[in-house]
Structure 1
Amino acid sequence: MTAKPTSSATWEQDVLQAEGPVLVDFWAEWCGPCRMVAPVLDEIQNENPDKLTILKLNVDENPDLAMKYQITSIPAMKVFNKGEVETTIIGAKPKFALQQDLAKYIG
């Protein structure tokens, strides 16, 4: 299972009204580190399907959301819970480091 895309059109339903925590991966097609972190996020999603939902947001296609959440460098990941940003992770990291950053949700 790979991370599902989200967009400005579905943001409210996908992220802000979601049950439980949602990690949004802010990425772009041209971003090499984004492509490196994507399979790691897919693994974490597959290992924790009931604990954390992982979505991808293309910043080139959704500049309004990138601006709203002050995304200045990618990859950037934000964990939303009950519509609020709880955790921000900047940059590509190895799986164990991401798991540590997300331990509160997937522990």
Structure 2
Amino acid sequence: MGISERQLGLIKESAHLLVNEINMTGEEAVQLISKCINKELNRRNTTMEMLNISSKPERTSFIRAVVQHVGDAIQENPYWRTKHLGKSIENFYKALHDSWNRE
């Protein structure tokens, strides 16, 4: 499965936040977010193009699921864990959500 322009935009905008708030390199952030987006797309059996034309609640649900996957992966990796993970994940959600809704 290739990466769409929409995915690339979401990844770039939100990866910057993870790099700044979590002990993570830019490459690690991009790989993690890409993996989580693709995981959720496969789980829902959909594409970014289909999500782009879906309802706002559906897109919000998708973003929340991706953020949950990212948070779980960060929790599982002791090198990435931080005392302020909750706040970092909240900021990550806002960045991902805002980048999707900016049109």
TM-score range with shorter-chain normalisation?
0.3 to 0.5
TM-score norm. by structure 1 comes to 0.32
